[in-house]
Structure 1
Amino acid sequence: MSSAATRATGQDHLWSVTEHLEDILTTVRPLEPIELQLLDAQGCVLVEDVTVPVSLPPFDNSSMDGYAVRVADVAGASEEYPAVLTVVGDVAAGQAEQPHVGPGQAARIMTGAPLPPGAEAVVPVEWTDGGLGEGPVSGMRAHSAAPEGASGQVHVHRPAEARAHVRAKGSDVKAGDRALEAGTILGPPQIGLLAAIGRGTVRVRPRARVVVLSTGSELVQPDEALGSGQIYDSNSFALCAAARDAGAISYRVGAVADDAETLRATIEDQLIRADLVVTTGGVSVGAYDVVKEALSSVGDEDEAGGGVEFRKLAMQPGKPQGFGSIGPDHTPLLALPGNPVSSYVSFELFVRPAIRTLMGLKDVHRPTTTATLSADKALTSPAGRRQFLRGTCADGEVKPVGGAGSHLIAALAHADALIVVPEDDTSVEPGAEVEVVLLG
C-alpha cells in the first residue's frame, strides 16, 4: 500500500482529494483474468482479442420467406404474364438436405434457410400467388413438366436480380476476422456475438466482489422497531447498491456493534469473498470510533506494508477517511465516514474508481461537465476545503438540492449531480460556471 514514510505522516497531514484518490488508484491493481461462461461475463472486460472461427452467416441463406429461383426463369415476369415454376420442395432453417433447383423450378424457402443448390435468388412470397396455381393457363409462360416429388406450381409476378434477398456467407463477419478486441466491456450485444460464433466461455477480468459493512450500536435493520436513540441502517444499503451500479458484485453485512474485536472478527470472516472491503462509520475522533481502533494496528509488523491509515481530507463532506489493506492477501479496504451524505459522496469519489480499476475498466470516474449555477443566493464554502454539494443538472444549468449538512439523505435522493466548489473559493454567485459531477 502507501509507503511507510507516507503512513507515518498521514495522521498529521491534511490530504487533498486528489492526493487521496491518487494514492488509492496507484495502489489498487486490476484483478487477475479468469475464464467465465458467457452470462457470467456480462459487464466484465475482455482481456484478449476474439477471432471469428466460423463465418457469419456460415452459408448463403434467405432473408425472406419466399421461393428460391433461377434468375433466367423469372426474367420479365409481371402481373399480366407471371412466370410459372414447378415447386420441387421446401427448404427450412436447419434443414440438412435441400432440393436442387433446376430450370423452370423453384423451392419454397423460409427466412434463414440455406439457399438450395441451383438457385440464384429469392423472390418474396408477396411477389407470388403463394403457390396456389395448379397449372399453366392462357397467357402464362409455363416451364417443363413437374418432376417426381414436385409439390405444385407457383406464379411469380416480378423478376429478381442475382443474389436478391440472399444473405451472403460471411456478410456479417468472416472466419479469421477480429470479432472483439481486448478491453471491450461485454454487454448483451457482445455476448450475443460471442455465442453466435460458437464461444461458450471467454477470458475476462471478473467483476469485483465488494463487501460493505456499517458500524454503530445505534443501527437497526429496516422493518425492525426503533428503540430510544436508534436509527435505521441506510448506509450499507446505499453503498451496496452503489457498488452494483459501479459493476461490482456486492455483499452487504449487517451492522456491527461498537466493539473493536467483533468488528475485526467480522471483517476477517468476510475476506474469503472480498476483493475490496468498504466500511462506513467509526473513522473520526470520537470515543467509539471502532474502525480506527480495530484496524489501525493491523499489518504494522507486516514487511509487505499492510495496515489501514486514517486521514483527514481537505473536503466537505467526508473529511475523515481511511485506506489500506488487510489480511494475508492484502485486500484493499476503504473506511468511509458514517454520515449518509459523507459516505455516499466518498463512495462516488474514491470507492467507485477503485472498483472499476479492479475490473480493468478504462473509464473509472463519473463524467464531469460545466453548468451554470441556478440559485436564489450565493453558495458558501469553507476556505481550504473542496466542497461537494448535491444538485440537479439539466439543460446546462445546475440547481442545489437541500443544504450542506452531511445528514440530509432526503436531499441526496433527489440529486443527480455533485456541484464542486474548489478549495480556494469561499463563495459562488448565481450565474457562475461550476464544475459538476454527473451521478448517472
Structure 2
Amino acid sequence: MSIAAPIVPNHASTGRDCKVGAAMLGVDEARRRILNAFAPLPATATPIQDALALTIAEDVVTGIALPPFTNSAMDGYAVRTFDTLTASAARPAWLKVSGQATAGHEPEGSLEPGCAVRIMTGAPVPAGADAVIRFEEIDEASEHGWIGVPRSVRPGENIRPAGEVARQGEIVLAAGSRIRPAEIGLLAAVGRTHVAVHRRPRVAVLVTGDEVVDAGTALQPGQIWNSNGPMIAAQVRHCGGDPIMLGVARDTAGSVRARLAESADADLMITTGGVSVGDFDVVKDVLQAEGRIDLWQIRLKPGKPLAFGWVGNTPLVGLPGNPVAAYVAFVQFARPAILTMLGCRDVSMPTVQARLLDRIENRGDCEQYARVQVEMTSAGYVARLAGGQGSGMLTSLAKS
C-alpha cells in the first residue's frame, strides 16, 4: 500500500553527509517563518458544486431538522408495536392493510389499531405507527388484505426520526472544515446552494534555467524537458490552489523580470532553480533586486537550498531545481502556505509509524525524507525504499 504523501521523515542519510553550518535553519523554524507571512484569504459565496477541496469560512447552521420528518428506513409495513406484543412464528399477529405510504407524499391519515400501512423507504411514517417491519419477514400469502407479523416488533425499529441527523438550528459544518464530496452532500441536504469559503489561492509557477525546454520540443545537446513546472502545478492543484503557469525563464535578467511581472495578481509565487550556492547569479540577483528575498540553507535532504521573501506584494517561495528536492520542499513549505490561505486549521501532513526494512545510515544532522513504499502487515506498517534516493530520481518518487 502506498501512502498518500510519498515521503517519510527520518533522521538519516543515504550516503553523503548533510553538513550543517551555523546559518542553517531547521525545517520547523523555516516553516514557521514562512507561515507567519500568510493568512486565510477573504471569504466568498461559492456554488456548492464548485467548492470541492475548499475550506468553509463560516459555520453552516441548518434551518430545518434533518431529516425534516420521521420516515421509514426500509421497505415494509408500518405497524403499532402494541399490536405485535404476543406475536410469534407459531401465532402471528394478523393486521389489516389499511393503506400505502410512498416517498414524496403525505400519509393517508393515521394508523388505526389492528392495522398496518404498506410503506416504502423514505416515506413519512403515518401518525400512530411506531415501527416498520420489513417485507421479507411478513406472511402475505394467507389472505388478501391482511399480513401476518411473526414476531414482536421493537418500538423505533427501521424508523429514522425527524432530527436524527441534525436538529434545527444546529451547526452541521464548522468554519475551517475542508469540503469533500460528503460535505457537499450535507450542504445540499440542508438546502444550501452556495457556501462561504476561502477562495482558491492563485499560485504562479516559474521554472528557471537555459537548459529547460517544454515537453514536445526537440531536445538539443545539454537540454532537458520541463518536469518541474507541470509537477509543481499539479501539487498546487492537489492542495486546492489555482496554478498560473509562467513557463520557463532564461538565465537573463530581462527574461526573469518579464516572467515575474506576470505574477502581479498571484497570491503566491513559486520558482524552481536558481537558489543553490553556485547557481547562475542572474536569477538570485534579479529576485533580490525586485524584492526582499532571503536565501536559506535548510536542514533538509533533499531540499537544502530555499529562498523566501517578496516580489512586490507577492510572497515567493524559491524551491531547488532538482525535481525530487523541489517536490519535498514544496510539501514542507509551499503546501502549508497554500492550506493556510485556504483557511485550513491543520496544515500538517498525515503520518503513520512504520518499520524500515532497508538500511539508511545517518551521518549528519538533516531531516531526510526517503521515498518509500508502505505496506500493512500483521505486525504493522513496514516501509521499503522505492528505489534510488538521488534528488533527481523521479522514478522513485513515482513508485512511492
**Do these two structures clear the TM 0.5 threshold for a shared fold by scoring above it?**
yes
Q: 1:399 to 1:129 in 2, by over 3 A?
A: closer
Deviation string 1:390-428 (CA, Å, 9 cap, x unpaired) is 24375576666666643333344445xxxxxxxxxxxxx
Check whether the contact 1:340–1:409 (CA below 8 A) recurs between aligned residues. Answer: yes
* Other structure's SS at 1:14 match: coil
Among 161, 174, 182, the alignment partner of 1:189 is: 182
The equivalent residue for 2:328 is 345
Flag the 1:128–1:349 CA change in 2: closer, same or farther, 3 A.
Answer: closer
Are the aligned partners of 1:45 and 1:184 in contact in 2 as well (CA < 8 Å)?
yes
1:29-63 CA deviation, whole Å, 9 max, x = no partner?
Answer: 22222222223332233333322321122111112
2:340 corresponds to 1:366 = no
Alignment of 1:258-277 (within 5 A): 258-272=251-265, 274-277=266-269
Q: By how many angstroms is 1:109 displaced?
A: 0.5
| Structure 1 position 279, deviation (Å) | 0.8
Asked if residue 354 in structure 1 is aligned to residue 334 in structure 2, the reply is: no
For 1:182-223, what per-residue CA distance to the aligned partner results, in whole angstroms no more than 9, with x for missing partners? Answer: 332222333322222222222222333322221223222234
C-alpha contact (below 8 Å) 1:352/1:365 kept by paired residues: no
1:409 to 378, 394, 398: 394
Counterpart among 378, 387, 390 of residue 370 in structure 2? 390
Alpha-carbon distance between aligned partners in 2 of 1:377 and 1:101, rounded to the nearest angstrom: 73
Residues 165, 23 of structure 1: alpha-carbon distance in 2 compared, 3 angstrom cutoff: closer
Larger relative contact order, structure 1 or 2 (CA cutoff 8 Å, min sep 6): 2
Report what 2:54 is aligned to.
Answer: 44
Q: 1:287-306, aligned counterparts within 5 Å?
A: 288-299=280-291
Residue identity (%): 40
User: Does the 8 Å CA contact 1:43/1:207 hold for their aligned counterparts?
Assistant: no
Q: 1:249 aligns with which of 230, 242, 266?
A: 242
Q: Deviations over 1:308-331 (max 9, x none)?
A: 33344465544433212224xx12
Q: Distance in 2 between matches of 1:67 and 1:375?
A: 61
Change (3 A) 1:396 1:131: closer
Please give the TM-score of this superposition, normalised by the length of structure 1. 0.74
Structure 1, unmatched stretches of 5+, are 1-11, 135-151, 300-306, 416-440
Partner Cα distance (2:296, 2:157) in 1: 70
CA displacement at 1:97 relative to structure 2: 4.7
1:198 to 191, 194, 199: 191
Q: Do the aligned partners of residues 74 and 350 (structure 1) sit closer, same or farther apart at CA in structure 2, a change above 3 Å counting? A: closer
Alpha carbons of structure 1 residues 401 and 40: separation in structure 2 relative to 1, 3 Å: same
1:112 matches 2:122: yes
Correspondence for 2:12? none
* AA in 2 matched with 1:215: T
Give the aligned partner of residue 229 of structure 2. 236
Are residue 281 (structure 1) and residue 278 (structure 2) matched?
no
Q: Deviations over 1:240-284 (max 9, x none)?
A: 232234343334443233333233223322433x22110111234
Distance 2:382 2:106 in 1: 62
Deviations 1:298-349 (A, max 9, x none): 24xxxxxxx333344465544433212224xx12111122122332232122
1:249, 1:35 → 2: CA distance? 17
Query: Equivalences for 1:38-187 in 2 at 5 Å?
Result: 38-130=48-140, 133-134=143-144, 152-187=145-180
After TM superposition, the structure 1 = structure 2 runs for residues 221-232 of structure 1, keeping only pairs within 5 Å, are: 221-232=214-225
Question: Structure 2: which amino acid aligns with 1:337?
Answer: P
- Out of 18, 43, 65, which is 1:33 matched to? 43
SS at match of 2:206: strand
Q: Tell me which moved more, 367-376 or 258-267.
A: 367-376
RMSD over aligned Cα atoms? 3.2
TM, length-normalised to structure 2: 0.80
Corresponding residue for 1:3? none
Unaligned segments of structure 2, at least 5 residues: 1-20, 375-379
Indicate conservation of the 8 Å contact 1:133/1:155, yes or no.
no
2:318 paired with 1:335: yes
Does residue 210 (structure 1) correspond to residue 203 (structure 2)? The answer is: yes
Which has the higher mean CA deviation after the structures are superposed, 60-69 or 284-293? 284-293
Q: What SS is found at the alignment partner of 2:290? A: coil
Of stretches 369-378 and 205-214 in structure 1, the one that deviates more from structure 2 is: 369-378
C-alpha distance in structure 2 between counterparts of 1:97 and 1:393, whole Å: 57
Q: What residue in structure 1 maps to residue 293 of structure 2? A: 308
Give 1:234 deviation, angstroms: 1.1
Query: CA offset at residue 354 of structure 1?
Result: 1.6
Q: Is the 8 A contact 2:214 2:226 kept in 1?
A: yes
2:18 alignment partner in structure 1:
none
1:130–1:212 Cα change, 3 Å: farther
Q: 1:94 and 1:132, CA in 2 relative to 1: closer, same or farther beyond 3 A?
A: farther
